[in-house]
């Protein structure tokens, strides 16, 4: 194998597939990255039996077709360190030789025949705008669980509703909902898919410039995400998702309307006095919301913001980081804070119907007062 490629194109392609390189591979060969050159294209790929990624090297010139398997992380580090000049990759005998100007590297080859075959592309369910999908995934997954001993909560529940999709994540303390339009290939309604959140978030970031194809295999166990120059597959979580719909109810006793950016900045300032494990308190009364945090040992912080209030005054408190995550996930100029009691779930939602037709909700459980 012998190919010539620009440094930027190589770094970009490796970045697409690097997220599926296992940190601690069960067998050394799964730490490899497969470089394959044909008469028409050059691809780089990784696969660990759970997640696969494949990217096309743009504008690569093939001198000799072939394949080479080398350490993925080592190639990534070398490519990033090289100057912005053309790079030659050549496999000969036991090494992949990397040449860029006067810089030369010889990387030990692994056995290509021992590398697992990449999954075939599954049937396509439909397409979605890549940038919108990546944004929806990023904003939903802030609420996904991080505890791998509770795998159900580490996933994104992807639901199909006619011409729109719904992504839902929860870690028991909060729920993020993000909806967006899509174009299904037929009128059928696929079953919801529970996709590992971290894997989907990393893959979606690489597919922001094109229409993205969404697919699932016949067994319903592998999800695929494909764009013009990249394709990813990931094994689904075979678990029923947690029932969440009752927490999205519209009933409320108190509703406050505030400026999103102003509230985010106020929370950031007041939270400086919220020590680890403490809370930030929001008191809604008349035409303002008062934010307070701190204690006698750490000090106190307080700030007032204008708010349009409907219903009786109410005081509630939150984990500062969770509150910021929720406010940033809504990501629209003004929002409604929907409350039905100081210790009941609070919904943050945009005011009115957003122009892009997307629905964004973030539900957050308050912290109960001490005692």
* Band (65; pLDDT cuts 50, 70, 90): very high
Beta bridge partners of 34: 45, 69
Return the pLDDT at 28.
94
H or E stretch including 301? strand 299-306
Return the pLDDT at 348.
93
Return the pLDDT at 358.
59
Please, are residues 173 and 202 in contact by the beta-carbon 8 Å criterion? no
Please, are residues 140 and 243 in contact by the beta-carbon 8 Å criterion? no
Residue 318 has pLDDT above 90, yes or no: yes
H or E stretch including 13? helix 7-18
- Please report, to the nearest 10 degrees, the dihedral formed by the alpha carbons of residues 186, 187, 193, 197 taken in order: 70
pLDDT tens-digit map of 340-358: 999 999 999 888 655 555 5
- pTM comes to 0.91
> CB under 8 Å to 141, separation ≥6 — which residues?
156, 169, 176, 197, 198, 200, 201
Tokens encoding 46: 């990784």
Residue 101 has pLDDT above 80, yes or no: yes
Closest CA to 335 of 362, 365, 295, 313: 362
H or E stretch including 97? strand 95-100
23 vs 265: CA distance, rounded Å: 36
H or E stretch including 292? strand 288-295
Among 125-139, 165-179, 348-362, which stretch is predicted with the lowest mean pLDDT?
A: 348-362
Helix (H, G, I), strand (E, B) or coil at 160: strand
């Amino acid at each position: 194998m012998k190919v010539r490629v620009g440094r930027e194109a190589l770094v970009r392609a490796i970045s697409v597939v690097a997220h599926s390189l296992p940190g601690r591979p069960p067998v050394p060969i799964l730490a490899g990255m497969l470089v394959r050159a044909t008469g028409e294209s050059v691809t780089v790929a990784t696969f660990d039996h759970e997640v696969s990624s494949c990217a096309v090297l743009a504008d690569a010139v093939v001198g000799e077709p072939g394949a080479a398997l080398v350490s993925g992380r080592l190639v990534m580090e070398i490519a990033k360190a090289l100057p912005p000049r053309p790079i030659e990759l050549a496999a000969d005998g036991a090494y992949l030789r990397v040449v860029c100007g006067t810089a030369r590297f010889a990387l030990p080859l692994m056995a290509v025949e021992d590398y697992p075959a990449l999954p075939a592309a599954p049937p396509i369910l439909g397409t979605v705008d890549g940038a919108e999908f990546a944004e929806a995934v990023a904003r939903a997954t802030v609420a996904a669980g991080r505890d791998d001993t509770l795998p159900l909560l580490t996933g994104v529940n992807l639901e199909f509703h006619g011409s729109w999709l719904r992504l839902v994540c929860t870690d028991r303390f909060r729920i993020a909902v993000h909806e967006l339009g899509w174009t299904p290939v037929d009128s059928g309604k696929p079953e919801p898919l529970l996709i590992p959140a971290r894997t989907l978030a990393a893959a979606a970031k690489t597919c922001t410039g094109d229409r993205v194809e969404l697919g699932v295999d016949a067994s319903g166990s592998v999800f695929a995400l494909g764009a013009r120059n990249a394709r990813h597959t990931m094994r689904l979580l075979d678990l029923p998702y947690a029932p969440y719909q009752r927490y999205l109810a519209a009933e409320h006793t108190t509703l406050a309307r505030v400026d999103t950016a102003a509230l985010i900045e106020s929370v950031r300032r007041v939270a400086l006095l919220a020590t680890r494990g403490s809370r930030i308190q929001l008191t809604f009364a008349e035409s303002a919301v008062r934010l307070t945090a701190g204690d006698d040992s750490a000090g106190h912080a307080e700030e007032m913001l204008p708010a349009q209030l409907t219903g009786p005054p109410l005081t509630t408190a939150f984990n500062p980081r969770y509150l910021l995550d929720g406010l940033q996930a809504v990501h629209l100029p003004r929002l409604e804070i929907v409350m039905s009691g100081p210790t009941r779930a609070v919904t943050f939602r945009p005011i009115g119907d957003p122009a892009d037709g997307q629905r964004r909700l973030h539900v957050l459980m308050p912290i109960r007062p001490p005692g």
